Structure 1
Amino acid sequence: MAKRSKITSGSGNIFADLGFENPQEHHVKAHLVMLLSKMIEAQSLTQGQAASKMGLRQPDVSKLLRGGFDGFSLERLLNFVRALGADVEIKIKTSKSRQSGRSNQEGRIRLTA
Protein backbone atom coordinates (compact mmCIF):
# COMPACT_ATOMS: atom_id res chain seq x y z
CA MET A 1 0.00 0.00 0.00
CA ALA A 2 1.36 3.41 -0.99
CA LYS A 3 2.21 5.84 1.76
CA ARG A 4 0.03 8.97 1.66
CA SER A 5 1.84 12.28 1.37
CA LYS A 6 0.89 15.23 3.51
CA ILE A 7 0.25 18.39 1.54
CA THR A 8 0.75 21.74 3.23
CA SER A 9 -0.50 24.94 1.65
CA GLY A 10 2.06 27.69 1.29
CA SER A 11 1.62 31.25 2.47
CA GLY A 12 2.44 32.73 -0.93
CA ASN A 13 5.92 33.68 0.28
CA ILE A 14 8.37 30.79 0.09
CA PHE A 15 10.87 32.73 2.18
CA ALA A 16 8.37 32.96 5.06
CA ASP A 17 7.49 29.29 4.65
CA LEU A 18 11.17 28.37 4.92
CA GLY A 19 11.70 30.56 7.99
CA PHE A 20 13.95 33.20 6.45
CA GLU A 21 14.61 36.36 8.41
CA ASN A 22 12.92 39.34 6.68
CA PRO A 23 10.89 37.15 4.31
CA GLN A 24 9.02 40.07 2.70
CA GLU A 25 12.29 41.74 1.73
CA HIS A 26 13.55 38.50 0.16
CA HIS A 27 10.24 38.13 -1.67
CA VAL A 28 10.43 41.63 -3.16
CA LYS A 29 14.09 41.16 -4.09
CA ALA A 30 13.31 37.87 -5.84
CA HIS A 31 10.58 39.58 -7.88
CA LEU A 32 12.97 42.39 -8.81
CA VAL A 33 15.59 39.88 -9.96
CA MET A 34 12.97 38.09 -12.09
CA LEU A 35 12.03 41.45 -13.59
CA LEU A 36 15.70 42.23 -14.30
CA SER A 37 16.09 38.87 -16.01
CA LYS A 38 13.04 39.55 -18.22
CA MET A 39 14.33 43.03 -19.07
CA ILE A 40 17.76 41.70 -20.04
CA GLU A 41 16.15 39.03 -22.21
CA ALA A 42 13.67 41.46 -23.80
CA GLN A 43 16.54 43.78 -24.77
CA SER A 44 18.61 40.84 -26.05
CA LEU A 45 21.50 41.89 -23.82
CA THR A 46 24.41 39.67 -22.93
CA GLN A 47 25.31 39.53 -19.26
CA GLY A 48 28.34 41.67 -20.08
CA GLN A 49 26.20 44.32 -21.76
CA ALA A 50 23.72 44.27 -18.87
CA ALA A 51 26.60 44.55 -16.41
CA SER A 52 27.91 47.61 -18.20
CA LYS A 53 24.50 49.32 -18.07
CA MET A 54 23.99 48.36 -14.42
CA GLY A 55 27.48 49.35 -13.28
CA LEU A 56 28.42 45.80 -12.30
CA ARG A 57 30.87 43.15 -13.41
CA GLN A 58 29.54 40.28 -15.53
CA PRO A 59 30.15 37.66 -12.79
CA ASP A 60 28.01 39.77 -10.43
CA VAL A 61 25.16 39.83 -12.97
CA SER A 62 25.46 36.06 -13.33
CA LYS A 63 25.33 35.60 -9.56
CA LEU A 64 22.37 37.97 -9.27
CA LEU A 65 20.38 36.19 -11.99
CA ARG A 66 21.02 32.84 -10.29
CA GLY A 67 19.38 34.15 -7.10
CA GLY A 68 22.43 35.48 -5.28
CA PHE A 69 20.83 38.77 -4.27
CA ASP A 70 21.73 38.75 -0.56
CA GLY A 71 24.46 41.36 -1.01
CA PHE A 72 22.18 43.79 -2.87
CA SER A 73 19.87 46.28 -1.16
CA LEU A 74 16.36 46.93 -2.45
CA GLU A 75 17.47 50.42 -3.44
CA ARG A 76 20.33 49.06 -5.50
CA LEU A 77 18.11 46.51 -7.25
CA LEU A 78 15.63 49.27 -8.07
CA ASN A 79 18.51 51.32 -9.51
CA PHE A 80 19.41 48.37 -11.75
CA VAL A 81 15.83 48.35 -13.06
CA ARG A 82 16.18 52.07 -13.83
CA ALA A 83 19.57 51.53 -15.46
CA LEU A 84 17.92 49.07 -17.84
CA GLY A 85 15.43 51.72 -18.91
CA ALA A 86 12.34 51.36 -16.73
CA ASP A 87 10.76 53.88 -14.43
CA VAL A 88 10.20 52.87 -10.81
CA GLU A 89 7.10 53.93 -8.95
CA ILE A 90 6.58 53.16 -5.28
CA LYS A 91 3.07 53.41 -3.87
CA ILE A 92 2.27 53.63 -0.20
CA LYS A 93 -1.37 53.03 0.68
CA THR A 94 -3.25 53.40 3.92
CA SER A 95 -3.60 50.06 5.65
CA LYS A 96 -7.11 48.59 5.59
CA SER A 97 -6.58 47.04 9.00
CA ARG A 98 -6.56 48.88 12.28
CA GLN A 99 -2.99 47.77 12.93
CA SER A 100 -0.66 50.64 12.12
CA GLY A 101 2.00 49.88 9.53
CA ARG A 102 1.11 46.21 9.33
CA SER A 103 2.78 44.23 6.59
CA ASN A 104 0.46 42.03 4.58
CA GLN A 105 2.11 38.71 3.72
CA GLU A 106 -0.86 37.75 1.57
CA GLY A 107 -0.55 40.91 -0.55
CA ARG A 108 0.63 40.73 -4.12
CA ILE A 109 3.69 42.40 -5.48
CA ARG A 110 3.31 43.81 -8.96
CA LEU A 111 6.47 44.81 -10.76
CA THR A 112 6.41 45.69 -14.41
CA ALA A 113 8.83 47.28 -16.81
Structure 2
Amino acid sequence: MSEQMDKTTPIIKGSGNVFADLDIQLNERDELKVAIASEISDLIEIRGLTQKEAAQMLGTDQAKVSNITRGRLGGFSVDRLLGFLIALGFNIDIHLSKNEGAHGRVTVHTPPKTACG
Protein backbone atom coordinates (compact mmCIF):
# COMPACT_ATOMS: atom_id res chain seq x y z
CA MET A 1 0.00 0.00 0.00
CA SER A 2 1.35 3.42 -0.94
CA GLU A 3 1.10 6.37 1.42
CA GLN A 4 1.14 9.95 0.21
CA MET A 5 2.79 12.77 2.13
CA ASP A 6 0.38 15.09 3.85
CA LYS A 7 1.00 18.38 2.05
CA THR A 8 -0.46 20.38 4.93
CA THR A 9 2.26 19.32 7.39
CA PRO A 10 4.99 21.95 7.44
CA ILE A 11 8.62 20.90 7.08
CA ILE A 12 10.88 22.77 9.45
CA LYS A 13 14.64 22.78 8.93
CA GLY A 14 16.51 21.68 12.05
CA SER A 15 19.17 23.74 13.76
CA GLY A 16 21.78 20.99 13.49
CA ASN A 17 21.33 20.13 17.18
CA VAL A 18 18.56 17.57 17.49
CA PHE A 19 18.52 17.89 21.28
CA ALA A 20 17.91 21.64 21.15
CA ASP A 21 15.27 21.11 18.46
CA LEU A 22 13.45 18.68 20.77
CA ASP A 23 13.97 21.02 23.75
CA ILE A 24 16.13 18.45 25.55
CA GLN A 25 18.65 20.07 27.86
CA LEU A 26 22.01 18.31 28.14
CA ASN A 27 24.76 19.25 30.55
CA GLU A 28 28.15 20.25 29.15
CA ARG A 29 29.68 16.81 29.69
CA ASP A 30 26.84 15.07 27.84
CA GLU A 31 27.04 17.57 24.98
CA LEU A 32 30.75 16.85 24.69
CA LYS A 33 30.18 13.09 24.75
CA VAL A 34 27.55 13.38 22.00
CA ALA A 35 29.87 15.51 19.82
CA ILE A 36 32.77 13.07 20.23
CA ALA A 37 30.57 10.01 19.60
CA SER A 38 29.14 11.66 16.49
CA GLU A 39 32.64 12.23 15.15
CA ILE A 40 33.61 8.62 15.91
CA SER A 41 30.49 7.36 14.12
CA ASP A 42 31.15 9.59 11.12
CA LEU A 43 34.75 8.39 10.87
CA ILE A 44 33.65 4.75 10.98
CA GLU A 45 31.11 5.38 8.22
CA ILE A 46 33.42 7.50 6.03
CA ARG A 47 36.17 4.89 6.24
CA GLY A 48 33.72 2.08 5.47
CA LEU A 49 34.68 0.14 8.58
CA THR A 50 32.54 -2.57 10.02
CA GLN A 51 31.83 -2.32 13.73
CA LYS A 52 34.14 -5.28 14.28
CA GLU A 53 36.99 -3.58 12.37
CA ALA A 54 36.42 -0.36 14.29
CA ALA A 55 36.40 -2.26 17.57
CA GLN A 56 39.80 -3.79 16.75
CA MET A 57 41.21 -0.31 15.99
CA LEU A 58 39.77 1.07 19.23
CA GLY A 59 40.83 -1.85 21.41
CA THR A 60 37.29 -2.62 22.47
CA ASP A 61 34.49 -4.96 21.42
CA GLN A 62 31.85 -4.63 18.71
CA ALA A 63 29.02 -4.16 21.21
CA LYS A 64 30.65 -1.00 22.57
CA VAL A 65 31.10 0.38 19.05
CA SER A 66 27.43 -0.34 18.45
CA ASN A 67 26.53 1.58 21.60
CA ILE A 68 28.58 4.57 20.45
CA THR A 69 27.04 4.62 16.97
CA ARG A 70 23.54 4.39 18.51
CA GLY A 71 24.19 7.21 20.96
CA ARG A 72 24.07 4.99 24.02
CA LEU A 73 26.86 6.76 25.85
CA GLY A 74 26.06 6.13 29.50
CA GLY A 75 28.93 3.68 29.96
CA PHE A 76 31.57 5.93 28.39
CA SER A 77 33.63 8.70 29.92
CA VAL A 78 34.76 11.73 27.94
CA ASP A 79 38.33 10.52 28.45
CA ARG A 80 37.58 7.10 26.95
CA LEU A 81 35.80 8.60 23.94
CA LEU A 82 38.73 10.99 23.36
CA GLY A 83 41.04 7.96 23.43
CA PHE A 84 38.94 6.36 20.70
CA LEU A 85 39.29 9.50 18.56
CA ILE A 86 43.06 9.41 19.04
CA ALA A 87 43.08 5.72 18.02
CA LEU A 88 41.25 6.75 14.83
CA GLY A 89 44.03 9.22 14.02
CA PHE A 90 42.49 12.42 15.37
CA ASN A 91 44.54 15.16 17.00
CA ILE A 92 42.80 16.80 19.92
CA ASP A 93 43.54 20.44 20.70
CA ILE A 94 42.07 21.95 23.84
CA HIS A 95 41.78 25.72 24.23
CA LEU A 96 40.67 27.05 27.59
CA SER A 97 39.40 30.58 28.10
CA LYS A 98 37.93 32.41 31.07
CA ASN A 99 34.29 33.47 30.95
CA GLU A 100 34.02 36.38 33.38
CA GLY A 101 31.02 36.35 35.69
CA ALA A 102 29.10 33.57 33.95
CA HIS A 103 28.90 29.81 33.78
CA GLY A 104 31.35 28.39 31.24
CA ARG A 105 30.47 26.40 28.15
CA VAL A 106 31.89 23.68 25.95
CA THR A 107 32.23 24.24 22.21
CA VAL A 108 33.47 21.53 19.85
CA HIS A 109 34.91 22.48 16.47
CA THR A 110 35.29 19.60 14.04
CA PRO A 111 37.04 19.59 10.68
CA PRO A 112 35.02 19.27 7.48
CA LYS A 113 34.16 15.70 6.55
CA THR A 114 36.24 14.16 3.77
CA ALA A 115 36.23 10.84 1.99
CA CYS A 116 39.40 9.88 3.90
CA GLY A 117 37.97 10.79 7.30
Whether TM-score is above 0.5 comes out as yes
Match of 1:98 among 97, 101, 108: 101
Cα contact 2:41–2:68 (8 A) shared by 1 = no
| Partner in structure 2 of residue 14 of structure 1 | 19
CA–CA distance in 1 between the matches of 2:107 and 2:94? 14
Say yes or no: does 1:29 pair with 2:33. Answer: yes
C-alpha deviation, 1:109, in angstroms: 2.5
1:20-59 to 2 correspondence within 5 Å? 23-59=27-63
For structure 2, the 5+ residue unaligned runs are: 1-14, 112-116
CA–CA distance in 2 between the matches of 1:89 and 1:43? 22
Cα contact 1:13–1:24 (8 A) shared by 2 = no
| Partner in structure 1 of residue 6 of structure 2 | none
For structure 1, the 5+ residue unaligned runs are: 1-9
Match of 1:87 among 82, 86, 91: 91
CA–CA distance in 2 between the matches of 1:88 and 1:57? 23
Say yes or no: does 1:111 pair with 2:116. Answer: no
Q: TM-score, normalised by structure 1?
A: 0.71
Q: TM-score, normalised by structure 2?
A: 0.69
1:81 maps to amino acid:
L
The CA RMSD measured in Å over matched residues stands at 2.4
C-alpha deviation, 1:89, in angstroms: 1.0
CA–CA distance in 1 between the matches of 2:92 and 2:25? 29
Secondary structure of the structure 1 residue equivalent to 2:36: helix
CA–CA distance in 2 between the matches of 1:13 and 1:66? 14
CA–CA distance in 2 between the matches of 1:13 and 1:48? 28
- CA 1:13–1:47: 2 relative to 1, 3 Å: closer
Cα contact 2:44–2:54 (8 A) shared by 1 = yes
- CA 1:89–1:53: 2 relative to 1, 3 Å: same
CA–CA distance in 1 between the matches of 2:87 and 2:59? 9
C-alpha deviation, 1:14, in angstroms: 3.0
CA–CA distance in 2 between the matches of 1:26 and 1:65? 15
